């Protein structure tokens, strides 16, 4: 989502609501990131694009989605521009608590995706390594007591465990489902 505009975010919500009528879970996960060695490498237009994509899009998607959310709904923020989005998440959580809408965020370290450069320093997470955070927060039965919180899967000690040469598989999610079944957790209750 390059430089999200108000009109674009409104159209995204409008098209979704036309198809599904309501919004139960909003996942704000748009983000851009540029690897640089110096602040001198960051131009004004690049900085504006980062905030327009990583902050403004979250604000406007949440703003336009709220009219289509009900008690028990969830807003999940992927915190690419962490400081501003943590503050946004906590402020929005306070505002929406009385409506029974929880707002939480996931603030992972680098994540390997086809859109992110493979040249980032260190080992980036595979998407399946952070997916359980979203599943946990999206499930009312598991996380109904959580709002205004930020989960930080950052793998600081994982650099020797695996490499980021391949796209992720669903193995992590399947393992989570298998373990959940072993302990008697019912996914259809989420």
- Catalytically active residues are 78
DSSP string covering 102-149, please? Answer: EEEEE--S-B--TTS-TTSSSPPBPHHHHHHHHHHHH-HHHHTT--S-
Phi, psi of 106 (to 5 degrees): -120, 125
What's the rounded Cα separation, in Å, for the pair 75 and 58? 10
Phi, psi of 36 (to 5 degrees): -135, 160
Q: Which residues contact 116 (CB under 8 A, 6 or more apart)?
A: 33, 110, 124
Residues 6+ apart with CB under 8 A from 74: 24, 25, 26, 101, 102, 103, 104, 137, 138, 140
Q: How far apart are CA 154 and CA 12, in angstroms?
A: 30
């Amino acid at each position: 989502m390059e430089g999200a505009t108000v009109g674009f975010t409104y159209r995204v919500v409008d098209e979704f609501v036309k198809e599904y009528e309501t919004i139960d879970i909003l996942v704000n996960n748009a983000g851009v990131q540029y690897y640089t060695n110096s602040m001198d490498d960051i131009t004004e237009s690049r900085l504006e694009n980062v905030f327009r994509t990583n902050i403004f899009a979250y604000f406007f998607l949440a703003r336009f989605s709220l009219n289509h959310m009900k008690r028990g709904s969830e807003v999940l923020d992927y915190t690419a521009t962490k400081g501003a989005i943590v503050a946004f998440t906590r402020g929005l959580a306070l505002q929406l608590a009385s409506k029974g809408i929880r707002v939480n965020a996931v603030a992972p370290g680098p994540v390997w995706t086809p859109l992110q450069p493979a040249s980032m320093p260190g080992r980036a997470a595979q998407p399946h390594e952070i997916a359980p955070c979203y599943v946990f927060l999206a499930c009312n039965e598991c996380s109904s007591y959580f709002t205004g919180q930020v989960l930080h899967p950052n793998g600081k000690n994982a650099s020797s465990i695996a490499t980021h040469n391949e796209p992720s598989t669903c193995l992590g999610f399947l393992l989570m489902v298998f373990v959940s079944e072993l302990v008697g957790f019912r996914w259809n209750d989420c």
